[in-house]
Amino acid sequence: MKIQYCIDYEEMSLMASNSFISDLKANSIRFVCVATGNSPTGTYSRLEKIYNVHPEYFKELSIVKLDEWGGLKDNDPNSCEYYVRHKILRPLHIAENQYVSFKSDAADSQVECDRVQSQIDALGPIDICILGLGKNGHIGFIEPSELLPIGCHVGQLSSSSKNHQMVEKMRFKPDYGLTLGLGDLFRSKKIILLVTGDNKEKIIEKLLSKKITTQLPASLLWLHGNVECYIDSESLV
Is the Cβ–Cβ distance between 203 and 132 less than 8 Å? no
Residue 122 CB partners (closer than 8 Å, separation 6+)? none
Residue 47 CB partners (closer than 8 Å, separation 6+)? 17, 20, 21, 88, 91, 92
Q: Taken in order 71, 73, 76, 79, is the CA torsion positive or negative?
A: positive
Catalytic residue among 76, 81, 136, 224: 136
Catalytic residue among 81, 112, 127, 138: 138
67 flagged as catalytic: yes
Catalytic residue among 67, 76, 81, 228: 67
Report helix, strand or coil for 70. coil
138 flagged as catalytic: yes
Distance CA 136, CA 161 (A): 8
Report helix, strand or coil for 119. helix
Distance CA 231, CA 195 (A): 5
Q: Which helix (H) or strand (E) holds 5?
A: strand 2-6
Catalytic residue among 143, 184, 228, 232: 143
Q: What is the DSSP pairing of strand 176-179 with strand 67-69?
A: antiparallel
Distance CA 217, CA 215 (A): 6
143 flagged as catalytic: yes
Asked whether the bond before 55 is cis by omega within 30 degrees of 0, the reply is no
Catalytic residues: 67, 136, 138, 143
